[in-house]
Chains A and B, each alone.
Chain A
Amino acid sequence: GQQLNQSPQSMFIQEGEDVSMNCTSSSIFNTWLWYKQDPGEGPVLLIALYKAGELTSNGRLTAQFGITRKDSFLNISASIPSDVGIYFCAGKPSGSARQLTFGSGTQLTVLP
């Protein structure tokens, strides 16, 4: 089955810094989704990407769908304490009915 590699696994940054994380796939995806999960809660959808090369922003968050359709990155600018959490990428391959595949997550800690 398809593999999703998400990196880094964890990050410790100072408040105000920018953050970047990425996911790479062993196969072509036609959808990339980025989620944030707070402890004990379900993941919340941040950004959805549907086209190779697409760059989408949601406030301080920016995500891009790689042109090879095998990767995506998420940037967070000017981090704040409430950015703390686990960020997951998820991708759906092209073809007939296929489920989302999730990355292993990036644990983000923002230090004051």
Chain B
Amino acid sequence: KAGVTQTPRYLIKTRGQQVTLSCSPISGHRSVSWYQQTPGQGLQFLFEYFSETQRNKGNFPGRFSGRQFSNSRSEMNVSTLELGDSALYLCASSLTAGTGGTEAFFGQGTRLTVV
């Protein structure tokens, strides 16, 4: 069974550009969550999607957005990139959303560097 797949693995963008990251969850999983990881801030929750609906949202500016498709694949978009957006972006999939006892499995992440 394939794990969580994130593409691309590495990305370099310049300030002001926008970027789209992709996440394919484990087959059968319907919940996808996104996290930003930086050395100083640890794992920061961005948002969670379940059945194409955003269920939870973290404390990030509106430049960060996401969506989920009917096949549960998810994309996140960051517009008007800033240097501080440089981070490892992680996607996690789980069977359901908001249910106790559901493990989250992570992809390898996309390393975004903004120059």
- Chain B residues with Cβ below 8 Å from A98 are 56, 98
Are A41's CB and B56's CB within 8 A?
A: no
Within the complex, what minimum Cβ distance (angstroms) separates A105 from chain B?
6
- Is B115 close to A, CB under 8 A? no
Select the residue from A50, A88, A94, A98 with max chain B CB neighbours within 10 A: A98
- Chain B residues with Cβ below 8 Å from A90 are 104
Q: How far is the CA of A105 from the CA of B88 in the complex (A)?
A: 15
User: Could you count the A-B residue pairs with CB atoms below 8 Å apart for me: how many are there?
Assistant: 66
Are B101's CB and A100's CB within 8 A?
A: no
CB 8 Å contact bits of A48-78 with B (1 = contact, 0 = none): 1010000000000000000000000000000
What size tier do the contact residues of chain A reach? 20 to 34
- Chain A residues with Cβ below 8 Å from B45 are 99-102
What size tier do the contact residues of chain B reach? 20 to 34
Given contacts A88-B43, A102-B43, A31 and B111 within 8 Å (CB-CB): no
Please list the 6 inter-chain residue pairs (A to B) with the smallest Cβ-Cβ separation, ordered nearest first. Answer: A97-B98, A42-B106, A30-B100, A102-B43, A99-B56, A104-B42
Which B residues are within 8 Å of any A CB, using their own CB? 4, 6, 33, 35, 42-43, 45, 48, 50, 55-56, 58, 88, 90, 92, 97-98, 100-109, 111
